[in-house]
């Protein structure tokens, strides 16, 4: 993907030129390659084969573009928490479901979630995203605490630490997983659950 510009003809809603989603996809990819702050608008323009000004027809500012991208990632992640599997069954079952769901979303929206996980709070948009990530984390921590109360998750590790460690593992997937490889999303989710719940050691 170092060449410029797929034909704008193939745009999703059949209109000429790029539509907003197509621009967003490319922008997110380029942001992930160089880092959001290190990516000039001109880099997006080059990749799309457009001028900078043409891009400003599609969005108001670089920051707004980031906001739309982060919303996509956050919405998908938050969606997992309201699926039936996340609200029915034992705490451990729900925890396993949410872990699988997080891996599923992460793989399905890899570039968007990657961008989200690299946000550091440099602007209002970024701080708002961090706030929603924190809320997501808190929901999972509550689930872990419930599972500990059930007796199905070890209680000798604080729930907040256990959550952070396991989600650190999940989130790190964006650093190396590529959907083209030999391992599918389901297999990957299975590996994550195996390590998180049962560990690497044989018995």
d(CA 72, CA 22): 14
Select from 28, 31, 62, 115 the one that contacts DNA (CB under 7 A). 62
d(CA 55, CA 72): 20
d(CA 129, CA 88): 28
Number of residues that bind a copy of itself (CB under 8 A): 45
- Site for DNA contains 57 (CB under 7 A): yes
Compare residues 132 and 164 and give the one whose CB is closer to a copy of itself. 164
The binder of 40, among DNA, a copy of itself, none, by C-beta within 5 to 8 A per type, is: DNA
- Site for a copy of itself contains 168 (CB under 8 A): yes
- Site for a copy of itself contains 195 (CB under 8 A): yes
Evaluate whether 47 touches 30 at the Cβ level (below 8 Å): yes
Measured CA distances, 142 to 41, 150, 161, 175, 193 (Å): 41, 12, 12, 27, 18
Joined tokens for residue 203: 């018995």
The binder of 191, among a copy of itself, DNA, none, by C-beta within 5 to 8 A per type, is: a copy of itself
Select from 92, 101, 110, 136 the one that contacts a copy of itself (CB under 8 A). 92
Q: Estimate to the nearest angstrom the gap between the alpha carbon of 151 and the chain centroid.
A: 31
Evaluate whether 19 touches 11 at the Cβ level (below 8 Å): yes
Select from 43, 46, 128, 164 the one that contacts a copy of itself (CB under 8 A). 164
Question: CA angle, corner 113, sides to 166 and 53, nearest 5?
Answer: 160
Select from 58, 109, 133, 145 the one that contacts DNA (CB under 7 A). 58
List residues near DNA by CB under 7 A: 8, 15-19, 39-43, 45, 49-54, 56-58, 60-63
List residues near a copy of itself by CB under 8 A: 33-35, 37-38, 92, 118, 120, 122, 144, 147, 151-154, 156-158, 161-162, 164-173, 175-176, 183, 188, 191-192, 194-202
């Amino acid at each position: 993907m170092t060449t410029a510009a797929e034909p704008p003809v193939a745009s999703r809603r059949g209109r000429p030129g790029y539509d907003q989603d197509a621009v967003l996809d490319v922008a997110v990819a380029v942001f992930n390659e160089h880092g959001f702050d290190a990516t000039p608008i001109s880099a997006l323009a080059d990749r799309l084969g457009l001028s900078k000004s043409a891009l400003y027809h599609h969005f108001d500012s670089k920051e707004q573009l980031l906001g739309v991208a982060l919303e996509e990632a956050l919405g998908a992640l938050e969606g997992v928490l309201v699926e039936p599997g996340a609200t029915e069954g034992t705490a451990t079952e729900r925890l396993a479901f949410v872990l699988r769901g997080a891996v599923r979303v992460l793989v399905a929206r890899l570039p968007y979630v990657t961008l989200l996980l690299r946000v550091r709070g440099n602007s209002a948009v970024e701080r708002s995203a961090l706030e929603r990530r924190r809320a997501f984390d808190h929901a999972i921590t509550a689930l872990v605490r419930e599972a500990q109360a059930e007796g199905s998750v070890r209680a000798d590790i604080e729930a907040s630490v256990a959550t952070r460690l396991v989600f650190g593992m999940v989130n790190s997937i964006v650093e190396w997983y590529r959907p083209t490889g030999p391992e599918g999303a389901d297999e990957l989710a299975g590996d994550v659950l195996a390590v998180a719940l049962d560990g690497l050691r044989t018995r």
